[in-house]
Amino acid sequence: MTNQAPLELANITKRYKDGDQYIEVIKDLSFHVHKGEFVAVIGPSGSGKSTFLSIAGALLSPDEGKVLVNGEDIATYPDKAKADVRLRTIGYIFQSANLVPYLRAKDQLKLVSEMAGKWSKTNEKRVKDLLNGVGLSSRNNHFPHQLSGGEKQRVAIARAFMNEPDIILADEPTANLDGDRSTEIVELIAKEVKDKEKAAVMVTHDENLLKYCDRIYRLADGQLTLEK
């Protein structure tokens, strides 16, 4: 591992207005994840886990602090620049697969490559290899309505890997799946982290999945506490 962490949050604070008051969901929080590390963040519902991950993934701006992606502070980037960072550097896996309903599985991957300006005919093999890698070799021409919940989430994972991001962020990626499918999904993420030296952060409520993670943090009262 190099000294430069692909993702670092430095003294992050996020407030929400509640009537006449402001509530600090995230309070002067600092965090980092290195290449080859798979980190979990756990905590009760409403503790700010999704807010934390949205800030890390440039979906939400902090009120204070820095979000460093490969050493660059993206917290104050304009929206288009943040979108470019997400497309090129961050693979985001949501709780719901969020597939485009009118696109076949293989075209879901092609779309994000085109949006990042990376698509060429040579990428067709990468699409095929990624879908094969998540066990969908016979489903690449299927539309979302033809796929099970677990299959949709595996397409979403392949899509998150498509642009070869340095960082993988997963927000409750198994929340809508049963135990066996949940294990499959997290094993796929863990394999990508180790095989390709990615930096990954997963927010989860499922403690059965924590055995795949190198470090575990608990988020409470706006702060992270290292548990493992």
Residue 48, classed as helix, strand or coil, is coil
If the chain, 228 residues long, is cut into consecutive pieces of 10 residues, what is the mean pLDDT of each piece? Answer: 83 91 93 97 90 94 96 93 92 92 96 90 91 92 95 94 95 84 90 94 92 95 92
Residues of the chain above pLDDT 70, percent: 99
* Assigned domain for 105 exists: yes
- The number of distinct structural domains making up the chain is 1
* Assigned domain for 183 exists: yes
What does each C-alpha distance from 219 to 84, 91, 115 come to in angstroms?
28, 22, 34
Residue 6, classed as helix, strand or coil, is coil
What is the length of the chain? 228
* Assigned domain for 53 exists: no
* Assigned domain for 12 exists: no
Q: Which tens digit of pLDDT belongs to each residue from 121-170?
A: 888 999 999 999 899 999 999 999 999 999 999 999 999 999 999 999 99
* Assigned domain for 2 exists: no
Domain with 131, as residue range(s), is 37-46+79-226
CATH number of the domain that residue 130 is part of = 3.40.50.300
One-letter amino acid identity for 57?
G
* Assigned domain for 23 exists: no
* Assigned domain for 4 exists: no
Cut 0.75: pTM above it: yes
